[in-house]
Structure 1
């Protein structure tokens, strides 16, 4: 490289150095001015930063307080909302309950009115039933008396029927045992008469006893005059005794038997005939069953029963 070139290069470098120095000074001045400005701005910014930091701290504290208060308020709000929901639910329930209560009250009023009407009907029915019951009690008392009387009468009737049955059996046995075979009374009839001669079954009105019977196909050995006796016995087989009783004897079952007759007479016994005894009673007869018996000296001819009431 030549000197000229070096000079040029040196000049250029010198110019560049001078320019650099000038730029550097200018730049430094600007930088210093900018630095001063920036320093002031930095200080202001620092002050602003400090204020902002204080504000941030205050805001952070306030935020924290607000957050806490907000959380508390949020809890209170939630609780208030729940309380409001419960109050609304209770109000709706109360409204429905009130509607239901009104319905129930109406139904109860209707039922009470029905019950009052039923009670009135029942009271009326009870009063009527009490009257009917009183009438039934009175009728029951009367029926009980009638039933007692009927039972007594039935008992007496059964007793009399039993006595009559026993009497009939006794009569039949007596007839079989005591009669003389073909020599016996048949178609025997017993009538009790009043004073005027009419028939009666009333013990207090009976004044006369009429006993009639047939003798038919009498065996030859019994024909002729024989004594015939009328005996009247009660249901216990006790003879009814008149003021002038007739005492006699008869042969019964091959043995002699004492009899007490109301009356007796000698009769000419024929082969066929109807005989009648009429006897005036000396005393009134008691109620009950009686048996009229016909005897002869050789045995009993027959008997028949009669009842007085």
Structure 2
């Protein structure tokens, strides 16, 4: 069986499990009838079409987007421990969410639409700052350090806002910071999908440019690659992908760092023509699986999503560190 077919079947099987399992179990063989209007209980149709299907699709798209952005970051910096949050984009989205949740004077502003807009604006602002810095910095390692420092600075501002905010609003922000795929309905799913689709297509189209960075920026410049232009494109794509996922789903941890390493091990190649789609499929599968595990308690309770993704990603990161952080 082809590896690509196996990756696709793994994703499809995981999505079917995500639609089938939960506080109310629906037989997998009945999922197709539920989706196509067959003879099934109306409660099943409501659960699948209005609750689980948007959540599963959001998880698959978010996982693919984070994996793709993490791969680009690891390629750009030549560091297997780089992830989509290292440039402060996720921190910027968190700052926007903190402003919406902690400082908004009215409940109307505290709606999910206000939270989404504030998070996305924070991610765009962080992206603009990183792009301005990238124009003046020649070395990727320097940009990495500055991005990390900007992330720490933004997180410190969030900590100050938490200190000033009422306790009930702090609880809402902490819940958002755990990450979740449950808040995406049919009204927002197309917009999230459109933004991620644009970012993924740009990443797939630039696979030859990303390959030039496999031996480092110095080697890329030696063979005639426009390092500054390629770096700018990478940062823009990562900002689109990571900023969108964080704005819609909260800061989902570890998938962007761990999945590219798993994909490299699966396909045995560092060429982005193959590694990028493999990372997207693997990330989508693991995100749906992590969301499914977070719902295992059933009923009104569920595990924090980041607790599950950390259990998946932390061993992979530890393995990379033990190998010396090689790509």
- TM-score range with shorter-chain normalisation? under 0.3
Structure in which a larger fraction of residues adopt strand: 1
The higher relative CO (CA closer than 8 Å, separation ≥ 6) is in 2
Question: TM-score, normalized by length of structure 2?
Answer: 0.23
Instruction: Report the structure, 1 or 2, having the larger helix content.
Output: 2
